[in-house]
Amino acid sequence: MDCFFTFVSATNLALIVLSKNQINFISSLQRKAIRAKNNLFVVEGIKMVEELIVSSIKINNIFATSAWVDANQAVVSSIGSQLILVSDIELQRISSLSTPNEVLAVCEIKHNEFSFLNCKNKITLVLDNVQIPGNLGTIIRIADWFGVQNIVCSVDTVDVYNPKVIQATMGSFMRVNVFYKTLDALLKEAHLSGISIYGAALKGNNIYSATNLDKGIIVLGNESKGISEEVLKLCNTQISIPHFSIDTINGPDSLNVAVAAGIICSEFTRRNVKIDS
């Protein structure tokens, strides 16, 4: 999609007052259907936009306050006509945050092709109907921390380009590939490819005493329902995280899915990745 604005130069910016149509369009990118139709999404915040500029993601426009421009003179000239100078009030009008953070970027959605080569001899996370944006964003950040390069989501999992998901990743969405697939077909093909499939389930084997936790696919389920019955049947091994609550009757009955992802990724990494001491 073409940029909204052009400038004579990046060093001679004019303060822009956004039109109602421009404000409405950028705000509408909070909706999945509009993002998909225009192949665009929004990234907000100083740290993430600075990482975005040096990433492979194509930037449509950057809307920034004078404070951000003054603090980023080293990169301003490289941005060129994509940079739009706006007031704090204008930025607030297009931001989804309660407290806008100096800069907002409109970017093109990157479409990656999934291949089972992505899963061979690697740890891959598969998410079955994860619905809370903060959970998906945190899982992406956890994957980035543990070097997990690929996450495959069921088609009913929350959209990775949801602004709340992007915020929760803290920039990790730029380094982790996220795909959307029909899970039963994916897992059946994984079986045929000889890839181990582990399902996180309350009645699974204790992850700390389980043997043969090899690199493979780790399936995590919905926040309240867990992994669907159809998907769980396709898992070779069910694993669980034991609880040590002193109140065995009224204590917690489950873990947040993102917390569980962190614990499981840590244990699989400890078992399968050589870590320098």
Locate the domains of the chain by residue range: 20-108, 116-272
Predicted TM-score (pTM) of the model is: 0.90
- Considering only CA atoms, which of 84, 87, 81 is closest in space to residue 63? 84
- Considering only CA atoms, which of 93, 50, 44 is closest in space to residue 71? 50
**Span 107-132, average pLDDT:** 92
pLDDT number for residue 8: 33
Q: What confidence tier does 9 reach under pLDDT thresholds 50, 70, 90? A: very low
CATH architecture of the domain with range 116-272: 3-Layer(aba) Sandwich (3.40)
- Tokens for 172, please give them: 């990790």
pLDDT number for residue 128: 98
Summarize pLDDT for 80-99 with one digit per residue, the tens. Answer: 778 999 999 999 999 999 88
First to last CA, the chain: 49
Higher per-residue pLDDT: 39 or 252: 39
- Considering only CA atoms, which of 157, 150, 137 is closest in space to residue 176? 150
Share of the chain above pLDDT 90, in %: 75
Q: Per-residue pLDDT for 270 more than 60? A: yes
Extended strands (E) in the chain? 40-44, 59-64, 83-85, 103-108, 124-127, 150-154, 177-181, 197-206, 217-220, 237-240
For residue 233, how many other CB atoms are within 10 A of its CB? 11
**Span 135-159, average pLDDT:** 97
Task: Assess whether the region 20-108 and the region 116-272 belong to the same CATH fold.
Answer: no
Share of the chain above pLDDT 70, in %: 94
Summarize pLDDT for 22-60 with one digit per residue, the tens. Answer: 999 999 999 999 999 999 999 999 999 999 999 999 999
CATH number of 20-108: 3.30.1330.30
Q: State the chain's mean pLDDT as an integer.
A: 90
Q: Per-residue pLDDT for 17 more than 80? A: yes
Q: What confidence tier does 6 reach under pLDDT thresholds 50, 70, 90? A: very low
Summarize pLDDT for 210-222 with one digit per residue, the tens. Answer: 988 999 999 999 9
